[in-house]
Structure 1
């Protein structure tokens, strides 16, 4: 399935926390969007591989994404090396996204920055014809390079290059996040195991606060921010007038 938008996250829930509003926006515009998780989040303090898959599936259903897949790289131990690059290149060529949303290039969790670099590298290499890959049936794949790789903001603050209004889909976005009942605060399910950095009510409050802060920058209620390693251009000034600030 060719996708317009592919959101890649190293852990199940990275995408929901950081760019699910943007995904929802694009789906409502008729675009095909998918999510690719690099790992199963097996090193997480709370929950299990099985619960993470169930929660990821629920979140995907809430968002209405067209596909969700998992590359099953080793949580905490994957590298930006040839083996992992080739695995990701195969996925990029399979889905042929026009735009990729990716982990932050630097962040509190070392997996985030390492994944951001891996995704950036793989997206570039995927466009080189002399790198040969095959699909699941053994058929040669065609080269493919996304037009843009946008790195979403995670724990650490970085000045965004792009802000997207997610006001109309914010409530649905939060429902997708809350699908991860073992990971985040949920008074109906008790404590669900040891308390962590992300399991307190304050963490979810911070997610809302970040969206409000980003929204204020462009004169809307809620927004998501992205960093792009290349300059973003428009064909004419009318494109700037499509967004009220």
Structure 2
């Protein structure tokens, strides 16, 4: 990926986080010719089901379904997102390399501590990526992201922006189910909140609720920490 830019870069703490919260957005923009990428901070190696290799294969399959331009794995330890200088700098370097216009991150309130840690780390990395002197020290060019949006994984809140994903919803559903080890119960698999029928029903119900709010069948809600600019209202 060296030297190639990505228009939309979505960060997740674990493989499948982005698919749950923003898979439709990535699929829709990919069909429109927009370059998209996912960065998984961890391999989800502490998950009750699956292993590192299984989740990697599932992630590649999900990426193909969503039409991703690239997927990167940071390899940070699961439940070890400390926000250390080393971890932040690795994220900064990826942002400077891929030069995204838009960055997506998990919403800063979530029941999983890794999701909230990822949210905070993305905010720091986006900020540091634009600092010219820090870039010079690393022998890289600074990069300023145009906008950061936050997507939802386990929860729901009032959205600042809702994207219509009705036409690509089957792709989102298929991309989530590509993580078979996580969402499909089977012999030898532990019972978890993710592979109970209620979890995927919650995700789709939430997407239907957002879709209803904008007059479509399905939508994905995003939150912005900064005001959204509009040059005119009509």
TM-score (normalizing by structure 2): 0.95
CA distance in 1: counterparts of 2:78 and 2:136, whole angstroms: 24
Note the 1:18-97 alignment, pairs <5 A: 18-97=21-100
Rounded to whole Å, the distance in 2 between the matches of 1:132 and 1:80 is 19
Taking a change above 3 Å as real, the CA distance of residues 208 and 158 of structure 1, as seen in their structure-2 partners, is same
What's the counterpart of residue 162 of structure 2? 163
The residue aligned with 1:116 is: 119
Q: Among 95, 100, 109, which residue is 2:103 paired with?
A: 100
User: Residue by residue, what CA displacement relative to the aligned partner does 1:42-78 show, whole Å, maximum 9, x if unpaired?
Assistant: 1101000010000000000111101011000111012
Distance in 2 between residues matched to 1:142 and 1:120, nearest whole Å? 19
Structure 2 residue 221 is matched with structure 1 residue 222? no
State the alpha-carbon separation in 1 of the partners of residues 133 and 41 from structure 2. Answer: 25
Equivalent residue number for residue 228 of structure 2? 232
User: Residue 90 of structure 1 contacts residue 133 of structure 1 at CA under 8 Å; is this kept in 2?
Assistant: no
Residue 133 (structure 1) shift? 6.7
2:202 is the alignment partner of 1:206: yes
**Cα distance in 1, alignment partners of residues 140 and 27 from structure 2:** 29
Gaps of 5+ in 2: none
1:163-213 deviation digits (Å, cap 9, x = unpaired): 111000001110000000000025xxx245111010111111111111101
Contact 2:156 2:206 in 1 (8 A): no
| Equivalent position of 1:145 in the other structure | 144
Q: Deviations over 1:118-143 (max 9, x none)?
A: 00111011100011378xxxx82210
Instruction: Give the secondary structure class of the aligned counterpart of 2:134.
Output: coil
In the other structure, the counterpart of 1:10 is: 13
RMSD of the alignment, in Å? 1.4
| Inter-partner Cα distance in structure 1 for 2:196 and 2:37 | 29
When the two structures are aligned, how many residues end up with a matched partner? Answer: 231
CA distance in 1, matches of 2:9, 2:80: 23
User: Is residue 82–residue 117 contact of structure 2 (8 Å, CA) maintained in 1?
Assistant: yes
**Kept after mapping to 2: 8 A contact 1:9/1:103:** yes
Normalising by the residue count of structure 1, what TM-score does the alignment of the two structures yield? 0.91
Q: CA separation in 2, counterparts of 1:87 and 1:165?
A: 33
Secondary structure of 2:190's aligned partner: coil
Q: Which stretch shows the higher mean deviation, 194-203 or 139-148?
A: 139-148
Q: Measured at CA, do residues 223 and 50 of structure 1 come closer, stay the same or move farther in structure 2, by a change above 3 Å?
A: same
In the aligned structure 1, how far is the partner of 2:136 from the partner of 2:70?
A: 21
Does 81-90 or 12-21 show the bigger shift?
Answer: 81-90
